[in-house]
Amino acid sequence: MRYKGYAARIEYDERNDIFVGRVLGMRDIISFHARSVPELHEAFRDALEDYLADCAEQGITPEKPASGKVMLRIRPEVHAAASVAARAAGKSLNQWADEVFEQAAMA
């Protein structure tokens, strides 16, 4: 589930018969829950809007979702192999790495 660039992980709590969500990739804990999917979307939006309003009220900068920039240090031989794999796929290293990251993250 996504809203304003933020992503949330949703789980079903069988004991309480509710969906429970938590915004991912942040130190601050933003969680929400609801009994139906439409209510869950609303609860997510409300929780995130409350977080952003609280940050504004306190004069602090809210944590941002991932920027899309990743700086990595990898072994030179891995870098070389990745470059070869990207070229073999007809892609830039960035395009190739984006697809590999996505596949690994969605698994």
Q: Whole-model pTM?
A: 0.65
Q: Please say if the pLDDT value at position 105 is more than 90.
A: no
Give the Å distances, CA to CA, from 38 to 17, 34, 43, 100.
15, 9, 9, 32
Encode pLDDT of 18-74 as tens digits. Answer: 999 999 988 889 999 999 999 999 999 999 999 999 999 999 999 987 777 888 999
Tell me which residue range forms the domain holding 50.
Answer: 2-58
Q: Are residues 53 and 99 in the same domain?
A: no
By CB atoms closer than 10 A (0-12, 13-18, 19+), residue 91 is middle
Q: Is residue 46 part of a domain?
A: yes
Q: What is the pLDDT of residue 69?
A: 81
* Residues 8 and 50 occupy one common structural domain: yes
* Confidence (pLDDT) at 66: 72
Q: Distance (Å, rounded) from C-alpha 55 to C-alpha 61? A: 6
What pLDDT does residue 73 have? 93
- Say yes or no: 43 and 11 in one domain: yes
Residue 68, in any domain of the structure: no
Residues 91 and 11: their CA atoms lie apart, in Å, by: 36
Amino acid of residue 11: E
Q: Is residue 87 part of a domain?
A: yes
Structurally, how many domains does the chain consist of?
2
